[in-house]
Amino acid sequence: MNSIALDIQNVIKIYNNGFKALDNVSFQVFKGEFFGLSGPNGAGKTTLISSIASLSNPTSGSIHVLGYDTQKDSNHSKMNLGVVPQELVFDPFFTVKEVLSYQSGYYGIKNNDQWIEEILEQLGLLSKINDNTRSLSGGMKRRLMVAQALVHKPPVIILDEPTAGVDVELRQSLWVFIKKLNQQGHTIILTTHYLEEAEQLCDRIAFMKKGQLIALDETEKLLAVDEQIHVSFTCHENISPLIAHFNYQHEKNKWSFELNNYAQVEHLLHIINTNQVTISNLGIMEKDLEQVFLSLIQ
């Protein structure tokens, strides 16, 4: 059985003004994966998601959602896909239930009340089912966007910065729900600026920059690549002869080291101690995804 949920091959997107927003992007997301897509603003993430959602066509290349071509067979690819977009857009005259019923109708699904109520329950919105969307708070509107993307029980779910501007509590409850969907077999693709979130949730993470895919690996491996320990301190003496065998940089009185393990940290501090060198502002920091990301985008 084919295990690929999303297949992106050589996708190029050149906007009408000649700007190349996607520059030969290729990668695959496996069924059941929790996949992260990250990168700085302007990297091309939204452009890529629009192409996956058949909202805009790539200039060249192909995208398949569960085997369905997003350009040639967009009806099928859309049926298999639920996208939670960044911006909040609702018709202010409809109730929560109406929004979700109309959305179901759009996918040709009738009598969807049971599922609609279940999603609203899971998202803590059931008590608002008959409320007008304009009366909802920002966080509730965000949850309704998630509900809207799920009315047709799509096997592949894309969340575009779903927790941007959302309070911590909602973020947590949203993740409990999304994780549950993932455990039930849904493939989740998440774009996020919160790398801590990506680190905790995603099996693999892709980084984009200037329209290109610059890294893609298992989250653990991405973190392991830069498993260095960063040590820095201030020292007014010239300690270069003492530390020649370490990987270090120094500028004025600030010395910084990239060490591979804590034995090296100990060794360094031992040298400092035994030579009675005076240091201050000692900082020891392990790399996290944020730093991997920063070193990638630099």
Q: Interface with ligand ADP by CB under 6 A: which residues?
A: 15, 17, 19, 21, 39, 41-47
For residue 177, report the phi and psi dihedrals to the nearest 5 degrees: -65, -45
- State the nearest-atom distance from the C-beta of 297 to ligand ADP, in Å: 11
By three-state DSSP, how is residue 3 classified?
coil
Nearest to 107 by CA among 144, 86, 73, 76: 76
Residue with smaller CB distance to ligand ADP, 36 or 44: 44
- State the nearest-atom distance from the C-beta of 58 to ligand ADP, in Å: 12
| Angle between helices 138-150 and 168-183 in degrees, nearest 10 | 10
* E strand or H helix that includes residue 4: strand 4-14
- State the nearest-atom distance from the C-beta of 216 to ligand ADP, in Å: 15
Residue with smaller CB distance to ligand ADP, 39 or 58: 39
| Spatial distance between the Cα atoms of 142 and 162, rounded to a whole number of angstroms | 7
- State the nearest-atom distance from the C-beta of 17 to ligand ADP, in Å: 5
- State the nearest-atom distance from the C-beta of 132 to ligand ADP, in Å: 31
Q: Find out whether 141 and 91 touch, Cβ atoms under 8 Å.
A: no
- State the nearest-atom distance from the C-beta of 64 to ligand ADP, in Å: 20
Residue with smaller CB distance to ligand ADP, 46 or 104: 46
Sequential DSSP letters for 47-115: HHHHHHTTSS--SEEEEEETTEETTTSHHHHHHTEEEE-SS----TTSBHHHHHHHHHHHTT----HHH
- State the nearest-atom distance from the C-beta of 37 to ligand ADP, in Å: 9
CA 246 to chain centre: 35
Beta-bridge partner residues of 248: 257
b/e code 69-82 from CB counts within 10 Å (16+ = b): ebeeebeebbbbbb
Residue with smaller CB distance to ligand ADP, 17 or 238: 17
Residue with smaller CB distance to ligand ADP, 43 or 206: 43
The sheet with strand 34-38 has its strands ordered as 81-84, 156-160, 187-191, 34-38, 204-209, 212-218
Residue with smaller CB distance to ligand ADP, 47 or 103: 47
Residue with smaller CB distance to ligand ADP, 44 or 85: 44
Check the CA dihedral 209-213-218-224 and report its sign: negative
- State the nearest-atom distance from the C-beta of 149 to ligand ADP, in Å: 18
The answer for 91, left when phi > 0, alpha when psi is -120 to 50, beta otherwise, is beta
Residue with smaller CB distance to ligand ADP, 14 or 284: 14
